[in-house]
Amino acid sequence: MDIAFSGKAVLVTGAAHGFGRAIALAFAANGAKVFACDVNAEGLAETERLSDGAVSVFTLDVGDCAAVRAAIERTGPIDILVNNAGGVRGQVGRPIEDISESDWQAIFDVNVSGAFFMSQAVVPGMKAKGAGRIINISSGAGLGISLTGIQAYASAKAAQIGLTRQLAHELGPFGITVNNVAPGFVRSNPTTERQWHAMGEEGQQKLIQNIAMKRLGSADDIANAVMFFASEQAGWISGQVLSVDGGK
């Protein structure tokens, strides 16, 4: 299968490390004009360096609707949007009674509102072209439970999957597909590294034994799934959730 993106403008959020970086670099390697954003300027600079300047980076808080609109005015029309920004915002699992309103909202802002605002901003350009791809990166936590025990994270990722399905039906008549990649546990960033080490050897082995492939995946595995959803070969696939988790 020949997947290429020459002439396509791609925007990847949360691209300072992990999945977002791997996705941005994969698009650049396949000929796309890539824009990458994150709140982490230092990590973005490393993504740009690793791309040999093929990825254009800028800082952006995707939960800020006005800033998102201004960013899309600067980039111009986007053909492929990857809503990867998300995560737990430095939080750890705690009892429900210990969760503050701000803790809850912070995770929803980046994982759900960010995906909504970004999609809202790029859709007019996609409609004008009669084509487009939106790929949301959720999590196995959105289909089941979160290994972290963070209530807002599991809830936000489930909400993002619901948004994916709803937008697929709204935007399909305009030639725009909307799909979702749900990664399993991957050691791809500082947060997942802390989670991995916190499990201890017994917990690590238990996690691996619950995976059909009996091994962890990589950020490139997630990028490969995104490449497929973004490709011409996936033109009649929309509203779908692809679990990339080694098999459960």
Q: Just list the catalytic residues.
A: 153
In single-letter form, the type of residue at position 12 comes to: V
Reference 62, options 107, 128, 123, 102; nearest CA is: 107
Tell me 128's DSSP state: H
H/E run at residue 41: helix 41-50
Nearest to 58 by CA among 45, 76, 77, 73: 45
Q: What stretch of H or E contains 203? A: helix 190-209
Which helix (H) or strand (E) covers residue 74, if one does?
helix 65-75
The token pair at 218 is 């990589």
The torsion angles phi and psi of 71, rounded to 5 degrees, stand at: -65, -40
DSSP summary character for residue 130: T
Burial 208-232, CB ≥16 within 10 A → b, else e: eeebeeeebbebebbbbbbbbbbbe
Q: To the nearest 10°, the Cα dihedral for 165, 57, 175, 29?
A: -100
What the block records as the tokens of 224 is 């490969």
Closest Cα partner for 91 from 222, 194, 245?
Answer: 194
